[in-house]
């Protein structure tokens, strides 16, 4: 029964991360539920504890509801044909147990200077254990033995519930050039209702690359700040009565803190190249921590910031630029050239739940339009360079080419048959911020999921076509 294993504490069991509401809904339907993931072909598998490898009627009903109307409806473009068949596999620990232990490991190991080798923590649902990433340079027998001893004798977590592995730290994908910044005066900033601002719904003026100056604005275009630092325009929305753009919090003259960074789209040689000013840098706080960690570092749920847009700059608030070709190979860049006949993706909602094996896309930076599978869901890391804990990030295998990719929109493509009047419908999944091993076959990209952005910015509402698509927001 969940809750009876050694080290399982009721206080931890009550913690439910918003990014894991799908898993908790399934665990509520069947207390034996241990995890869900998709293989490379998009085939879903659920894990169950106990000897009976048959999902309960309640879990079957919940799965079908999620597949037809909920979070699993758009698991990936590859698995659009999956409707009912779900494989089952044995497990030793329920998802609820693993989630409770994960919170302890994050607070007591990842968040403690006593264990500097620990750099990441997450639940591996495919393997049914808590995965603890150890810096590859410190992955030796002594450090592993010390960690295992602490897990077993102090936290009372079963040894079989934990797996230690050699991990690499994530690297921010920003092109930095922080020389002396000119004293620019920002233009008038939008403070009216969203609908009163200038809109340009015709992308026909676009030509060339996502790295060129383009009007109207849309997600996926290159932006500049500081003297010549490069990032990418994420996506648009509102925060209170302000229209804002989302990009990375490290794409700032004051990374991960609220400052007065001014942003440009273009080479800064036109009067209207200046597009906005930083409004909210997503400052880390103790209140954001799931639990106070041993070193009392503040926490965040996303590497995101809000940029308040200039009134007069035309933009397509519910669109992302679409280029001429996508790369689905980790080692190959996608196209940077905007498709002249089919130039936009259209945002119809947001994706709030993720599982391993889900397919996501991104547009931006030097790698253009790329796609790949999610390989790690809701992992925590210690951002030593900025001295805070970054909670619940996702890794995926879409290609990136480093500097300037930070801030790229990450999204899920949706079936056009479900949106007959919408051009290339997508749901925003999050915002790209980093990668590791870009030049190696085993590398990966990192993005902050939409649930984390909403946790850091409770007033933020994404810009999308109307009417809202309830299926993409379904989280009961």
Model confidence over 376-393: pLDDT tens digits?
999 999 887 778 999 999
* SS3 call for 6: coil
Residue 385 neighbours by CB under 8 Å, 6+ apart: none
- What mean pLDDT value characterizes the chain? 87
Instruction: Supply φ then ψ for residue 118, to 5 degrees.
Output: -80, 120
Q: Is the pLDDT of residue 79 over 70?
A: no
Extents of the domains making up the chain: 1-168, 194-473
Overall average pLDDT of the 423-452 stretch: 94
Q: Is the pLDDT of residue 181 over 60?
A: no
Overall average pLDDT of the 326-331 stretch: 95
Whole-angstrom Cα distance, residue 348 to residue 472?
Answer: 8
Which pTM does this prediction carry?
0.90
User: What letter does residue 21 receive in the DSSP assignment?
Assistant: H
Residue 28 neighbours by CB under 8 Å, 6+ apart: none
Q: Is the pLDDT of residue 204 over 80?
A: no
Q: What is the CATH number of domain 194-473?
A: 2.40.10.10
Overall average pLDDT of the 354-367 stretch: 94
Distances (CA, A) of 412 to 71, 219, 347: 12, 14, 10
Q: Is the pLDDT of residue 58 over 90?
A: yes
Strand runs labelled E in 83-216 = 87-91, 118-124, 129-135, 162-167, 171-172
């Amino acid at each position: 029964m969940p809750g009876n294993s050694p080290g399982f504490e009721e206080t931890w069991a009550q913690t439910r991360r918003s990014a894991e509401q799908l898993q908790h809904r399934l665990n509520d339907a069947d207390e034996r539920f241990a995890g869900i993931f998709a293989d490379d072909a998009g085939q879903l598998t659920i894990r169950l504890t106990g000897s009976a490898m048959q999902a309960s009627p309640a879990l079957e009903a919940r799965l079908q509801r999620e597949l037809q109307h909920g979070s699993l409806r758009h698991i990936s473009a590859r698995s659009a044909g999956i409707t009912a068949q779900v494989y089952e596999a044995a497990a030793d620990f329920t998802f609820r147990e693993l989630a409770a232990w994960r919170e302890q490991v994050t607070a007591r190991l990842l968040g403690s200077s006593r264990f500097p080798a620990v750099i990441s923590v997450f639940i591996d649902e495919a393997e049914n254990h808590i995965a603890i990433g150890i810096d590859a340079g410190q992955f030796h027998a002594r450090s592993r033995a010390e960690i295992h001893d602490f897990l077993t004798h102090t936290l009372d977590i079963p040894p079989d519930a934990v797996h230690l592995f050699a991990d690499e730290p994530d690297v921010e994908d920003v092109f930095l050039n922080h020389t002396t910044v000119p004293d620019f005066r920002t233009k008038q900033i939008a403070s009216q209702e969203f609908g009163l601002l200038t809109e340009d719904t015709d992308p026909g003026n676009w030509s060339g690359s996502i790295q060129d100056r383009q009007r109207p604005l849309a997600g996926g275009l290159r932006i500049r700040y500081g003297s010549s630092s490069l990032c990418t325009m994420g996506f648009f929305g509102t925060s209170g009565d302000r229209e804002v753009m989302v990009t990375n919090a490290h794409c700032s003259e004051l990374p991960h803190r609220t400052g007065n960074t001014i942003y440009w789209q273009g080479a800064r040689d036109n009067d209207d190249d200046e597009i906005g000013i930083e409004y909210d840098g997503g400052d880390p706080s103790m209140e954001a921590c799931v639990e106070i960690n041993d070193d009392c570092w503040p926490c965040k749920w996303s590497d995101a910031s809000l940029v308040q847009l200039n009134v007069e700059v035309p933009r397509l608030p519910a669109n992302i630029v679409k280029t001429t070709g996508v790369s689905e190979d980790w080692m190959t860049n996608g196209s940077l050239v905007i498709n002249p006949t089919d130039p936009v993706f259209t945002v119809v909602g947001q994706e709030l739940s993720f599982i391993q094996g889900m397919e996501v896309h991104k547009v931006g930076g030097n790698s253009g339009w790329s796609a790949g599978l999610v390989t790690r869901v809701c992992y925590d890391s210690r951002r030593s360079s900025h001295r805070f804990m970054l909670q619940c990030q996702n890794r995926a295998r879409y290609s990136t080419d480093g500097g300037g990719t930070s801030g790229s929109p990450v999204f899920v493509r949706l079936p056009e048959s479900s949106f007959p009047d919408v051009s290339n419908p997508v749901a925003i999944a999050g915002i790209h911020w980093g990668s590791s091993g870009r030049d190696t076959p085993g590398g990966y990209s990192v993005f902050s999921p939409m649930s984390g952005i909403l946790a850091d910015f409770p007033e933020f509402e994404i810009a999308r076509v109307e009417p809202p698509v309830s299926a993409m927001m379904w989280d009961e």
